[in-house]
């Protein structure tokens, strides 16, 4: 799908605004994702024309164990250690190649599930419909239902594959009678046709849920999954290669959804449903970078970061770096397509 022709972007901020952004790395008054400019309405998106827009989805009414993921967007923006923007492994200044803005949060009023999910869908659609890549910070995993639906509405139902990193399948029909829950979003997406079952691939599953009836339903939809047992036997890279081929079997675009509990709790303790025996942070960080570099990633979310259960901001930092590594892969892809010479240290 070709991008529409647009006028030259307008990316102007005042010197005083830039000064506040620069101070934000340590103690400034303006705290955005990566200290990128905050823009707040769709008209500004049209003017700025970024490659990526970060959206917060502070919703956790779908949790079934420990709540608190509604505070994930704020913590990932403000508590992550910001060391710089030059990627050592790729030898590039990331923001020389990708333009990123913070598009604020979707409005998620307390206790109003339907309104919150509708607002998330609308805000993601505002970004995706302009062929800007939404980076969505959850919130619990319920938010992937409206977010991925908005992306599929733009790129075509059946034309977006999903790689879903998680300890849990999240494919129950209902949880405690609720269709909207962090245990049900993937079934909602498949039932609606937004993401076909055959292009829905799950990596890192373990634990003791769901039961056999749900696995039977998943198989009937043509879903593919890769348990941690398989990763242990075959290695992460081999499993990831299969997952990509499955997700893009007949689909052109890729949505990455990461439940932070896909990582072992040693790497990400700050989550509502910690499950021992998960993916190590290094593997997942490299995977996200490679996916962005080699494939057409049109959206990404990271969910279930609950700062109240974190230790030394370990979970916040790895969640922040997952988005950063996706940016790095996109930047390297643009640099290499332009034939630019990598800096040093080189890849």
* pLDDT of amino acid 347: 43
> Quick one: fold of 15-337?
3.40.800
DSSP 100-144: EEEEEE----TT-HHHHHHHHHHHHHHHHTTTPEEEEEESSGGGH
Burial 212-248 (b: 16+ CB within 10 A, else e): eebeebbeebebbbbebebbeeeebeebbeebbebbb
Per-residue confidence in pLDDT tens, the chain, 347 aa: 555 577 899 888 888 788 778 776 556 667 899 999 999 999 999 999 999 999 999 999 999 999 999 999 999 999 998 888 999 999 999 999 999 999 999 999 999 999 999 999 999 999 999 999 999 999 999 999 999 999 999 999 999 999 999 999 999 788 888 888 887 899 999 999 999 999 999 999 999 989 999 999 999 999 999 999 999 999 999 999 999 999 999 999 999 999 999 999 999 999 999 999 999 999 999 999 999 999 999 999 999 999 999 999 999 999 999 999 999 999 999 999 999 888 876 54
* pLDDT of amino acid 183: 76
d(CA 241, CA 243): 5
Residue in 115, 126, 276, 150 with CA at minimum distance from that of residue 206: 276
> How do beta strands 297-303 and 253-259 pair?
parallel
Report the SS3 class of residue 305: strand
CA distances from 205 to 84, 224, 266, 332, 336 (A): 33, 11, 17, 30, 34
Q: Rounded to 5 degrees, what angle do the CA atoms 42, 45, 48 make? A: 155
Q: What secondary structure letter does DSSP report for 226?
A: E
d(CA 92, CA 8): 24
Q: Rounded to 5 degrees, what angle do the CA atoms 282, 265, 106 make? A: 85
Residues 6+ apart with CB under 8 A from 6: 46, 49
Phi and psi at 28, nearest 5°, equal -75, 175
d(CA 210, CA 214): 6
Q: How is the beta sheet containing 297-303 ordered, strand by strand?
A: 100-105, 52-57, 133-138, 297-303, 253-259, 160-165, 200-205, 224-227
d(CA 52, CA 219): 34
Report the SS3 class of residue 257: strand
DSSP H stretches of helix in the chain: 15-23, 42-48, 72-78, 113-128, 144-155, 185-192, 212-220, 228-234, 236-247, 281-294, 314-337
In the Cβ-directed half-sphere of 77, how many Cα atoms lie within 13 Å? Answer: 31
The structural domains of the chain, with segments of one domain joined by +, span 15-337
């Amino acid at each position: 799908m070709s991008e529409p022709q647009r006028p030259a972007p307008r990316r102007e901020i005042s010197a005083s605004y830039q000064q506040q952004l620069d101070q934000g790395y340590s103690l400034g008054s303006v705290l955005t994702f990566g200290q990128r400019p905050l823009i707040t309405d769709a008209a500004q998106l049209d003017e700025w024309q970024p490659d990526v827009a970060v959206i917060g989805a502070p919703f956790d009414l779908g949790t079934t164990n420990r709540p608190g993921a509604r505070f994930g967007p704020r913590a990932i923006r403000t508590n992550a250690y910001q060391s710089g923007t030059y990627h050592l492994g790729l030898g590039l200044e990331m923001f020389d190649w990708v333009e990123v803005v913070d598009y604020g949060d979707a409005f998620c009023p307390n206790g109003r599930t339907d309104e919150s999910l509708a607002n998330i869908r609308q805000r993601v659609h505002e970004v995706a419909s302009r062929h800007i890549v939404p980076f969505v910070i959850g919130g619990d995993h319920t938010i992937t239902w409206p977010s991925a639906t908005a992306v599929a509405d733009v790129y075509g139902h059946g034309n977006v594959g999903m790689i879903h990193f998680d300890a849990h399948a999240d494919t129950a029909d209902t949880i405690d009678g609720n269709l909207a829950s962090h245990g049900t979003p993937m079934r909602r997406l498949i039932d609606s046709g937004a993401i076909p079952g055959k292009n829905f691939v799950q990596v890192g599953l373990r634990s003791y849920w769901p039961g056999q009836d749900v696995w039977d339903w998943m198989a009937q939809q043509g879903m593919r999954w890769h348990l941690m047992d398989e990763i242990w036997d075959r290695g992460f890279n081999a499993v990831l290669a299969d997952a990509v081929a499955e997700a893009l079997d007949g689909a052109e675009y890729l949505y990455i959804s990461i439940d932070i509990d896909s990582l072992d709790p040693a790497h990400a303790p700050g989550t509502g449903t910690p499950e021992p025996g998960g993916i190590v942070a290094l593997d997942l960080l490299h995977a996200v970078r490679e996916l962005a570099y080699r494939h057409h990633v049109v959206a990404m979310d990271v969910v279930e970061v609950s700062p109240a259960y974190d230790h030394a901001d370990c979970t916040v930092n790895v969640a922040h770096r997952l988005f950063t590594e996706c940016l790095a892969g996109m930047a390297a892809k643009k640099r290499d397509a332009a034939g630019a010479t990598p800096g040093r240290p080189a890849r």
